[in-house]
Amino acid sequence: MTAPWTVDEEPRVHPVARSGDLVHVRQVIRVLAQRCGLSLVDQTKLITAASELARNALIYGGGGTVRAGLVEANGRRGVAAVFEDSGPGISDVGQAMTDGWTSGSGLGLGLSGARRLVDDFELSTVPGEGTAVTIVKWAR
Amino acid sequence: MSERIPILRIGDTLLVSVQTDLEDQTVLNLQEDLADQIVARSAQGVIIDISALEIVDSFVGRMLATIAAISRMLDARTVVVGMRPAVAITLVELGLSLGGVSTALDLEKGLAKLSRPTSSAPQ
């Protein structure tokens, strides 16, 4: 799932450098979700997951980028987004994916909650180098 | 400069209508402004209308729970009104069921809920 882009133009890259950028990321994902024809509930789930992951990249990763675009596989269309940061990485992924566990002051729902809200979820992290999370929500 | 959401007053109830997607700082400002206004105006109730919000993520969800807790400590009750069905579904799946936050389907029902005796208030 490193390069999920199969439809249309290359994905746009959006910075996540300050909290105001989260509003922009949510708008970008909303537009893609509507273009893809996701149901209202699925749009809401995807935008919410994107908001959680973008905030993680900002707060825990010290900022990063979001790449987002439309994808297609097995005759289905979907929206994919990759959240990357070059922060400290996650030393214990199992722990980080547990509901309620947080290394900061959050609720500990960001990663585990975001995973439940999307169809595909892939996390790769290297301690000291950064974290990348790829998500896809498919149209039904 | 960060935005501030206007806080209206009807009788002894404060009314906040969230009209746009919120920046985090705006959310934090609202928490402080509401706490100040509850005391300054001796408010008994707070209604937060989120019917215009297309998503509520864990940050905003936590803000709603925090405002409810703060207003409880200041002897006021909070009712969140107008949550969209898709938002409710998403919040529960996210793992945030907002226990302790009283809700109503719309503004009218929210005001009615606040006018009922305190015994029916959430914990």
Decide if B93 touches A, using CB distance below 8 A.
Answer: yes
Task: Report if residue B2 sits inside a domain.
Answer: no
Domain count, chain B: 1
How far is it, in rounded angstroms, from Cα A58 to Cα A15? Answer: 10
A56-83 mean pLDDT: 94
Is A19 in the B-facing interface, judged by CB distances under 8 Å?
Answer: yes
Mean pLDDT of B115-123: 64
Q: Is residue B29 part of a domain?
A: yes
Beta-bridge partner residues of A134: A82, A122
pLDDT at A26 > cutoff 60: yes
Q: Report the CATH number at residue B16.
A: 3.30.750.24
ipTM higher than 0.95?
Answer: no
What is the chain B residue with the closest CA to A39?
A: B86
The answer as to whether B14 is a domain residue is yes
B61 class by beta-carbon count within 10 Å (0-12 exposed, 13-18 middle, 19+ buried): buried
Q: How confident is the model at residue A82 (pLDDT cuts 50, 70, 90)?
A: very high
Are A41 and B86 within 8 A, CB to CB? yes
Q: Specify if B1 maps to a domain.
A: no
User: What mean pLDDT is reported for chain A?
Assistant: 89
Question: How much is the average pLDDT of A77-92?
Answer: 93
Q: Which of A48, A51, A109 to mutate to test the interface with B (most CBs of B within 10 A)?
A: A48
**B96 and A113: CB-CB below 8 Å?**
yes
Please check whether residue B108 touches A, CB under 8 A.
Answer: no
- Return the percentage of chain A with pLDDT > 70, whole number: 89
pLDDT band at A9 (very low <50, low <70, confident <90, very high): low
Residue B74 in domain: yes
Domain containing B22 equals 7-120
For residue A74, CA distances in Å to A5, A78, A134, B83 come to 14, 11, 19, 35
- All structural domains of chain A, each given as residue ranges with its CATH number in brackets, are 12-138 (3.30.565.10)
Distance CA A121, CA A38 (A): 17
Residue A17 token pair: 């450098």
Among A53-57, A72-76, A104-108, whose mean pLDDT is lowest?
Answer: A104-108
List the one residue out of B97, B80, B101, B79 whose CA is nearest residue B89.
B97
Q: What is the pLDDT of residue A94?
A: 83
- Looking at the domain assignment, is residue B18 inside a domain? yes
In this model, does residue A139 exceed pLDDT 90? Answer: yes
pLDDT at position B70, please? 96
Is position B99 within any domain?
yes
Q: Is residue B59 part of a domain?
A: yes
